[in-house]
Structure 1
């Protein structure tokens, strides 16, 4: 779907159609001081000149509805065309089921177009029937698992109409297929947060789920981020350092020479939280955090070396403060 219709042999220009002879086309007004002239095809100019004419006259007719379809084919991202089409659908009492079928075709040809997904949402709201939406978005996500518009539409349909029941199975399938699929991990959190809830049992299950996926691929940012999100809801502890299973898991990975930047960053957060809580030696935690930051900056996450050097400096200040405290304490004694 694009401005490339001049090769269409069967095409008849609107200006040559007898049934449109009563309409005066309205050329595009690009202003008096053009910097760059967009080279539209003759077909594009013809269709949109007549579209502007019916829009100006607020014509509510079947031929105007058909014209919007030609306009969409040439530019499916045109908001005005879609809005006018919705106005026509209402005014003409058009069969919305047929419109759903039509929009499905447009989505398959233009799956990352916000306007067509919005049009679909409006139709579903009018019909109060989401029965096709999970299948439609599933097909779109099979083609592109990270299609933001498909995910957004899916979440809207699920939340609006309570379609949560089988969503976790769908998400688990996607994560099993590609454990690095950040969109699927985000959807898992969406289901937990809005449907299953964060009971203690569910939190522990999700922690175990994330740890199993990390164990499978340790350098997987999506699983580490999900683990962080789950730990926020862990009533047994506070933050990333409060769950003994998680801290033991991380220490074991480190002991076994794992140097994933996400593991090292997690250990830094554990040290930072321990310093704030003052539950263990602040000096020890600051010293360890410095070593981890330097390892990330110098070898394991060079692309963010400035950030890790900045963090190292922060921990060095804490280290100095704790050293001074220890010296003062020794003098007093």
Structure 2
């Protein structure tokens, strides 16, 4: 009986399948069985078809045969295990040895990726083929299709970034990112791609920083409990000489959100960081900033982020000790000066 979900085409293929050991054109090859040693601890129960194909694959690998039939053999092997690095590597060696047209190979890999979108070996094979071709013309549309089905597919994003960086295809990427964020404002991969594009094009110059701060703050006001946007905001602020606490529009938005009654843990955590930065500033009001920070930590620990209660209690203690320690140090310094 066929497995549930098998297509009529797959059933036909299985019905018409001829084992390699029965194929006349393979009579000159002696299959090489898998050697698990004399006492295999947990022997895998491979199907007869799997054993047949891989026994013959090991044989051509051993003899270094690089032929059309060996190329087809790798395809049959990959149909059963598309994550097998050795088979992909040997397939590449055969392709190069036969000087094959690589465009059909791209189409073949596309089909494999569609069935195995999170298989590293398949994506690596596609990258090598694109490198050999030096033609990225299929890649942006292809990765866009994959990402339309899973907008956070790490392998697709990694491949897209490699293509964009290698072939300088940054031109319309921000528009694509904007489209993704309109669909899902919490798409962390899209936020990451935005940073990647800007970092590799204009860079975070002062005018770009201001532009990105305005963009991000608008997104935060729409969905305040969006960790991706808050992380992006922090990343942009690393390029601002004023730090978290000295950027007027950032402070204004945070204060407005808080005053309106918003108690997103992400907002409160950001305000704690602002207080901490003010504590560390030479001209900051340490006592007032500490008081605010401890209050915020208490709110986070006991109401809004209770799962991390111990963390926020630790932050409150740490900041208190830091302020008290610096005050004691300053006091000791004064006493020393007077004694002198």
* CA–CA distance in structure 2, aligned partners of residues 305 and 186 of structure 1: 29
Report matched runs for 1:273-288 at 5 Å: 273-288=277-292
Tell me, yes or no, if structure 1 residue 297 matches structure 2 residue 305.
Answer: no
Q: Secondary structure at 1:202's aligned position in 2?
A: helix
Aligned to 2:3: none
Per-residue CA deviations over 1:226-277 (Å, capped at 9, x if unaligned) read 0000111124x1x222211101111111111111111111111101111111
Tell me, yes or no, if structure 1 residue 251 matches structure 2 residue 255.
Answer: yes
Count of equivalent residues: 328
Tell me, yes or no, if structure 1 residue 98 matches structure 2 residue 104.
Answer: yes
* CA–CA distance in structure 1, aligned partners of residues 183 and 40 of structure 2: 51
Structure 2 stretches of 5 or more lacking a match?
1-5
Is the contact made by 1:283 and 1:322 (CA closer than 8 Å) also made in structure 2? Answer: no
Aligned to 1:16: 22
Aligned to 1:111: 117
Q: Secondary structure at 2:192's aligned position in 1?
A: helix
Aligned to 2:233: 227
* CA–CA distance in structure 1, aligned partners of residues 39 and 201 of structure 2: 56
Is the contact made by 1:171 and 1:187 (CA closer than 8 Å) also made in structure 2? Answer: yes
* CA–CA distance in structure 2, aligned partners of residues 215 and 208 of structure 1: 11
Structure 1 stretches of 5 or more lacking a match?
none
* Cα distance, 1:33 vs structure 2: 3.2
* CA–CA distance in structure 2, aligned partners of residues 200 and 327 of structure 1: 40
Aligned to 1:262: 266
Which of 178, 183, 204 is the matching residue for 1:177?
183
Aligned to 1:123: 129
* CA–CA distance in structure 1, aligned partners of residues 226 and 232 of structure 2: 10
Report matched runs for 1:182-197 at 5 Å: 182-197=188-203
Per-residue CA deviations over 1:58-103 (Å, capped at 9, x if unaligned) read 0011000000000111000100000000000000111101111111
* CA–CA distance in structure 1, aligned partners of residues 248 and 328 of structure 2: 31
* CA–CA distance in structure 1, aligned partners of residues 51 and 228 of structure 2: 47
* CA–CA distance in structure 2, aligned partners of residues 325 and 283 of structure 1: 15
* CA–CA distance in structure 2, aligned partners of residues 32 and 266 of structure 1: 61
1:321–1:199 Cα change, 3 Å? same
Tell me, yes or no, if structure 1 residue 63 matches structure 2 residue 62.
Answer: no
Per-residue CA deviations over 1:6-27 (Å, capped at 9, x if unaligned) read 9811111101111111111111
* Cα distance, 1:320 vs structure 2: 3.4
- What is the RMSD of the two structures over their aligned residues, measured on CA atoms? 2.2
Is the contact made by 2:66 and 2:98 (CA closer than 8 Å) also made in structure 1? Answer: yes
* CA–CA distance in structure 1, aligned partners of residues 331 and 53 of structure 2: 83
* CA–CA distance in structure 1, aligned partners of residues 327 and 132 of structure 2: 68
Pick 1 or 2: higher relative contact order, CA cutoff 8 A, min separation 6: 1
Which of 307, 310, 314 is the matching residue for 1:310?
314
* CA–CA distance in structure 2, aligned partners of residues 80 and 327 of structure 1: 69
Aligned to 1:38: 44
Q: Secondary structure at 1:36's aligned position in 2?
A: coil
